[in-house]
């Protein structure tokens, strides 16, 4: 429970953090510390240097710009949960409310959560369902990464050495769109045994115009449930359609099995919670 020795430096600006990171390729960014510090205590991570970005004020914001919602990487789960701007337009607050406890939600950040790519983390499912765009910066400049390409493997993202996640961008929902995040909490850790985010748009005839489904907890990384999305395309979004489509929730996925939830049980949960997410999103779409 005692981390290996490390150095610590607090960056006051993003440029300062990027310079430090470029000079120390094994350094780790410290955001809320609620994943990194436990990993260091278990010696699963032993970075020689921590670059603390928690005091960089202009990394913490939620704003509307050019038809998008833009969220700074250092925005805490609680800020997202309590955002009046988000409440009316997007399921992000709902997802934030499912995370850990009050302390975790106050310190933990959306940027840290997605950069960590925990296979049972909540944000990755919502980020995929919302087709978010991740803005990464390094000393070389800025680039945009699609949510689908961002989560590469267990605890691995598409961020390159020297890059910091600066912002997450989500398009504002248009038309008859409904979104939902539902989750089965692990009774001990609170993480997702299964978590499903659905983002559905209904056309003028009541058919499914577009469906985006992100699932976490089931496999080594959060994934897009493409077979569910295909099964929903164009169909009338009733209970039978939700049941048929959700049967594909874990198609083509290597399912995790552990002491708490076997592979079969997790597959079943993925199907049940996908059906619930589709039903909730459909109802909200009106």
Ligand X SMILES: Cc1cc2nc3c(=O)[nH]c(=O)nc-3n(C[C@H](O)[C@H](O)[C@H](O)COP(=O)(O)OP(=O)(O)OC[C@H]3O[C@@H](n4cnc5c(N)ncnc54)[C@H](O)[C@@H]3O)c2cc1C
> Which residues of the chain form contacts with ligand X (CB under 6 A)?
28-36, 38, 73, 99-100, 104, 108-109, 111-113, 115-116, 118, 121-123, 159, 164-165, 189-191
Nearer to ligand X, 145 or 242 (CB): 145
Do residues 69 and 85 lie in contact, with contact meaning Cβ atoms separated by under 8 Å? yes
For the stretch 154-189, what's the b/e string if a residue is b when 16 or more beta carbons lie within 10 angstroms of its beta carbon?
A: ebebbbeebbbbbbbbbeebeebbbbbbbbbbbeee
Helix (H) or strand (E) holding 194: strand 192-202
For the stretch 238-272, what's the b/e string if a residue is b when 16 or more beta carbons lie within 10 angstroms of its beta carbon?
A: eeebbeebbbbbbeebebbeeeebeeeebbebbbb
Nearer to ligand X, 157 or 201 (CB): 157
The DSSP output letter for 242 is: H
Nearer to ligand X, 124 or 173 (CB): 124
Collapse the DSSP code of 284 into the 3-class scheme (helix H, G, I; strand E, B; otherwise coil) and give the result. helix
Nearer to ligand X, 104 or 227 (CB): 104
Shortest approach of ligand X to residue 21 CB, angstroms?
Answer: 9
Q: What is the distance between the terminal CA atoms of the chain, rounded to a whole angstrom?
A: 50
Shortest approach of ligand X to residue 25 CB, angstroms?
Answer: 13
Shortest approach of ligand X to residue 160 CB, angstroms?
Answer: 10
Do residues 20 and 11 lie in contact, with contact meaning Cβ atoms separated by under 8 Å? yes
Nearer to ligand X, 150 or 191 (CB): 191
Shortest approach of ligand X to residue 190 CB, angstroms?
Answer: 4
Shortest approach of ligand X to residue 218 CB, angstroms?
Answer: 14
Nearer to ligand X, 81 or 229 (CB): 81
Measured CA to CA, the distance from residue 269 to residue 173 in angstroms comes to 28
Collapse the DSSP code of 111 into the 3-class scheme (helix H, G, I; strand E, B; otherwise coil) and give the result. helix
Shortest approach of ligand X to residue 178 CB, angstroms?
Answer: 23
Which pair of tokens denotes residue 206? 């009541």
């Amino acid at each position: 429970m005692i981390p290996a020795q490390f150095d610590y430096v607090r960056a006051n600006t993003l440029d300062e953090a990027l310079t430090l990171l470029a000079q120390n390729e094994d350094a780790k960014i410290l955001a809320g510390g609620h994943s990194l510090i436990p990993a260091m205590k278990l010696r699963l991570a032993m970075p020689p240097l921590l670059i603390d970005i928690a005091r960089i004020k202009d990394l913490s914001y939620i704003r509307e710009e050019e038809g998008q919602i833009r969220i700074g990487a250092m925005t805490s789960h609680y800020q997202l949960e309590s955002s009046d701007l988000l409440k009316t337009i997007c399921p992000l607050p709902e997802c934030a409310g499912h995370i850990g406890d009050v302390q975790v939600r106050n310190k933990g950040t959306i940027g840290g959560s997605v950069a960590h790519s925990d296979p049972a983390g909540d944000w990755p499912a919502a980020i995929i369902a919302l087709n978010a765009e991740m803005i990464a910066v390094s000393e070389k400049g800025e680039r945009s990464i699609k949510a689908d390409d961002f989560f590469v493997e267990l605890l691995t993202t598409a961020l390159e050495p020297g890059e910091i996640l600066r912002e997450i961008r989500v398009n504002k929902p248009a038309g008859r769109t409904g979104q939902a995040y539902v989750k089965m909490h692990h009774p001990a850790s609170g993480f997702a045994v299964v978590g499903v985010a659905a983002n559905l748009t209904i056309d003028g005839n009541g058919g499914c115009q577009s469906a985006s489904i992100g699932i976490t907890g089931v496999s080594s990384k959060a994934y897009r449930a493409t077979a569910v999305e295909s099964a929903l395309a164009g169909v009338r979004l009733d209970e039978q359609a939700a049941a048929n489509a959700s049967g594909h929730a874990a198609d083509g996925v290597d399912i995790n099995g552990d002491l708490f939830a076997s592979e079969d049980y997790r597959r079943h949960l993925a199907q049940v919670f996908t059906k619930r997410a589709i039903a909730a999103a459909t109802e909200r779409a009106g």
